[in-house]
């Protein structure tokens, strides 16, 4: 019985170790930057479209952004839109702040944004 318990414990330990190692190897290092937006009351649909088109253009303007999502399916909390930017890693997110790409996009985005909430998520 003692031998059985030892083998069982060793098997569980090996399985847990393998799972932890596999998870560490497959977990992405990218950062997901999620933004929910409430637009100013006098904003036109054309202005909103320009701001979201600006988000879509960011991966070409800033190589640290690998993907973007702009089609809001469901947004809660009084916000009208949400968009997501995927950054290569935390350093890319940090370097994006005050970058020429961000400043150019902000020229379109900030004048029409009433408020926004941001979540940065990684592993």
> Which residue in the block uniquely carries the two structure tokens 């350093």?
91
Q: Which domain covers residue 48, as residue numbers?
A: 31-121
Question: Which residues face 68 on adjacent strands?
Answer: 85
Q: Which of 8-12, 15-19, 22-26, 49-53 reaches the highest mean pLDDT?
A: 49-53
The overall pTM is greater than 0.95:
no
What digits encode the pLDDT tens for the residues 44-81? 999 999 999 999 999 999 999 999 999 999 888 889 89
Q: For residue 26, is it within any domain?
A: no
Q: What is the pLDDT of residue 78?
A: 86
Q: For residue 112, is it within any domain?
A: yes
Q: 58-69 burial string, b = 16+ CB within 10 Å, else e?
A: bbeebebbeebe
Return the percentage of the chain with pLDDT > 70, whole number.
Answer: 80
Using DSSP, state whether 101 is helix, strand or coil: helix
Q: For residue 14, is it within any domain?
A: no
Q: What is the pLDDT of residue 10?
A: 47
Q: For residue 50, is it within any domain?
A: yes
| Number of structural domains the chain divides into | 1
Helix H or strand E segment including 113:
strand 113-121
Q: For residue 75, is it within any domain?
A: yes
Mean local confidence (pLDDT), 94-111: 97
Task: Report the CATH number at residue 86.
Answer: 3.30.70.100
């Amino acid at each position: 019985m003692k031998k059985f318990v030892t083998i069982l414990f060793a098997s569980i330990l090996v399985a847990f170790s393998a799972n932890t190692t596999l998870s560490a190897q497959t977990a992405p290092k990218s950062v997901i930057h999620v933004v929910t937006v409430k637009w100013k009351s006098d904003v036109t649909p054309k202005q909103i479209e320009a701001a979201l088109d600006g988000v879509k253009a960011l991966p070409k303007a800033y190589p640290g952004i690998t993907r973007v999502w702009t089609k809001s399916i469901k947004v809660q909390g009084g916000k009208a839109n949400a968009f997501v930017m995927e950054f290569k890693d935390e350093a890319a997110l940090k370097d994006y702040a005050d970058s020429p790409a961000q400043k150019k996009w902000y020229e379109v985005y900030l004048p029409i944004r009433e408020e926004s909430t941001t979540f940065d998520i990684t592993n």
